[in-house]
Structure 1
Amino acid sequence: MNDSQLLRYSRHILLPQIDVRGQEKLTQSCILIVGAGGLGSPAALYLAASGIGKIIICDKDNVDLTNLQRQIIHNTDAIGEPKTASARRTLNHINPEVEIMTLQEPATEEMLVHLLSSADAVVDASDNFATRHAINQACIIQKKPLISGAVVRFDGQVSVFDLRSADNPCYHCLFPLSGEDNDPNCAVMGVFAPLAGIIGCTQAAETIKVLLGIGETLNGRLLLLDGLTMKWRTINLKKDPACEACSSSSARASNDGG
């Protein structure tokens, strides 16, 4: 690391759990963020500020006036332009050393599998179940950690699905595809703006912990926040041996044969 980097990241380097070696690992890491909205904004801001070497941002939408209440990576001047372009500009201002790659297109499973081949982890900041399940499937295929978050109204949730180990639960174990006909829509249901920041920042923190192998991550735990009472709850998660997404092909074949 050069002198400028030692100064920029000095408060991380002072932490014995990170130190110079850990910070160097962050600068060599690549993170995929799916969604540049309420969750993706704070997650991207803190990951860039923390010195992640490369950040890939995927979002198909343009900035709208209604986004600005919570999507803090965008500003009023960005209304009408792609969220990916707005996010890249903001992140470049925060930390020009970070390489920002953007994709303004829907996140398909095929595309995600390709991107994850070179990424170390993915932050799921999407807003619909179809995309979340596509991300989950890509992470299973590529054996990559998934840092998942969601907010609606005053309720937030965050978890880590560390799919580097086949023994860990996946997103589908928690939220099976069956029965999910409608996505919670913040345009109809609303969302408490600071809650998006809290959950998105938690995703950034969990991502850094996953990359460095420090502390105890939320793998195997779902953290729930009631923004009205500021009460946190934790639900322990277990792998579903009959999960259609992450169970072994032999187990699926056995279930089909039964």
Structure 2
Amino acid sequence: MSDDMLSDQELLRYSRQILLKQIDVDGQLRLKNSRALVVGLGGLGSPVALYLAAAGVGELHLADFDTVDLTNLQRQVMHDTPSIGQPKVDSAMARLAAINPEVALVPHRTALDEDSLAAAVAAVDLVLDCSDNFSTREAVNAACVAAGKPLVSGAAIRLEGQLSVFDPRRPESPCYHCLYGHGSEAELTCSEAGVVGPLVGLVGSLQALEALKLLAGFGEPLIGRLLLVDALGSRFRELRVKRDPACTVCGGVHGE
């Protein structure tokens, strides 16, 4: 089946979202012809990859150098007990292929250095940062700014989560570095501070939704807005964020 048509099987598979006037057949075709890179296949990357595959994003690039551990299974719902010890990329590919064999899967099983990250970002239309450390987030952001690719960034720890979209194609959009600067030397990980499973599922699901909006071309993405999730009180809060003209990452992109 050509990339400018949907097969009868695809029309049936995606019928419930095609019914939405905001998506329709044209939006589904845009998803079919889209490529997304998921960086990190853990608590956030699990719902991201599962929902993007189920929704029919045509090509998913999957990046993770880690293996599945027993402690992952409390929140990383893409993996299961038999996959313990397997590379997360392999576990993810098996699960995603079972959900939707129509989606092409491109693995990145080793850590991405500056050159390989730049190539991986250049090969897709959109990037989802589902990593769990600041240095990776900074590197992914810099690669997205350099390549002019939108970035859907999520994070969750303990009982708090946050989400935003950074799109260097838009002059008004901040980048990750505008918001977080050089980060904190005392940054904690989930293995140190803990995290509740449904929270990463919630943030990852919202990341997938933002990606679908950008790829299919509907709705209002979280550009210039930071969504804060308080799982303890079941509250959402939104902050407006602006570009930093002096940002060392994106400050010169639009001629400042």
SS of structure 2 residue aligned to 1:248:
coil
Show the 5 A alignment for 1:34-183. Answer: 34-177=39-182, 180-183=184-187
Q: Kindly tell me: are residues 124 and 23 of structure 1, through their superposed partners in 2, closer, same or farther at Cα, counting changes over 3 Å? A: same
How far 1:105 moved relative to its partner? 1.2
Show the 5 A alignment for 1:177-192. Answer: 177=182, 180-192=184-196
- Contact 2:163 2:203 (C-alpha < 8 Å) held by counterparts: yes
- How many angstroms apart in 2 are the aligned matches of 1:86 and 1:123? 19
- How many angstroms apart in 2 are the aligned matches of 1:58 and 1:250? 29
SS of structure 2 residue aligned to 1:136:
helix
How far 1:121 moved relative to its partner? 0.3
Q: Percent identity?
A: 50
How many aligned residue pairs are there? 251
Q: Kindly tell me: are residues 250 and 14 of structure 1, through their superposed partners in 2, closer, same or farther at Cα, counting changes over 3 Å? A: closer
Alignment-derived partner of residue 255 in structure 1: none
- How many angstroms apart in 1 are the aligned matches of 2:115 and 2:228? 31
Q: Kindly tell me: are residues 159 and 249 of structure 1, through their superposed partners in 2, closer, same or farther at Cα, counting changes over 3 Å? A: closer
1:207 aligns with 2:211: yes
How far 1:175 moved relative to its partner? 0.6
Instruction: State the superposition RMSD in angstroms.
Output: 1.3
- Contact 1:34 1:107 (C-alpha < 8 Å) held by counterparts: no
Map Cα deviations across residues 150-205 of structure 1 (whole Å, 9 max, x no partner).
Answer: 0000000000001112331000000111x521332111110011001000000000
SS of structure 1 residue aligned to 2:226:
strand
1:233 aligns with 2:237: yes
Q: Unaligned 5+ residue runs, structure 1?
A: 253-258
SS of structure 2 residue aligned to 1:137:
helix
Alignment-derived partner of residue 25 in structure 2: 20
SS of structure 2 residue aligned to 1:219:
coil
- Contact 1:29 1:54 (C-alpha < 8 Å) held by counterparts: yes
With normalisation by structure 2, the TM-score equals 0.95
Map Cα deviations across residues 105-143 of structure 1 (whole Å, 9 max, x no partner).
Answer: 113232221112220100000000110000000000110
- Contact 1:109 1:135 (C-alpha < 8 Å) held by counterparts: no
Q: Kindly tell me: are residues 125 and 249 of structure 1, through their superposed partners in 2, closer, same or farther at Cα, counting changes over 3 Å? A: closer
Q: Which AA in structure 2 matches 1:213?
A: G
- Contact 2:161 2:199 (C-alpha < 8 Å) held by counterparts: yes
- Contact 2:145 2:168 (C-alpha < 8 Å) held by counterparts: yes
Q: Which AA in structure 2 matches 1:22?
A: G
Q: Which AA in structure 2 matches 1:201?
A: S
SS of structure 1 residue aligned to 2:28:
helix
How far 1:104 moved relative to its partner? 1.1
How far 1:213 moved relative to its partner? 2.2
Map Cα deviations across residues 221-257 of structure 1 (whole Å, 9 max, x no partner).
Answer: 00000001110000100000111111117988xxxxx
- Contact 1:107 1:131 (C-alpha < 8 Å) held by counterparts: no
- How many angstroms apart in 2 are the aligned matches of 1:140 and 1:250? 11
Q: Unaligned 5+ residue runs, structure 2?
A: 1-5
- Contact 2:141 2:151 (C-alpha < 8 Å) held by counterparts: yes
- How many angstroms apart in 2 are the aligned matches of 1:152 and 1:192? 8
Q: Kindly tell me: are residues 182 and 109 of structure 1, through their superposed partners in 2, closer, same or farther at Cα, counting changes over 3 Å? A: farther
Q: Which AA in structure 1 matches 2:33?
A: Q
- How many angstroms apart in 2 are the aligned matches of 1:170 and 1:126? 16
Deviation above 3 Å: which 4+ runs of structure 1?
A: 249-252
Q: Which AA in structure 2 matches 1:214?
A: F
- How many angstroms apart in 2 are the aligned matches of 1:205 and 1:188? 29
- Contact 2:70 2:81 (C-alpha < 8 Å) held by counterparts: yes
Q: Which AA in structure 1 matches 2:187?
A: D
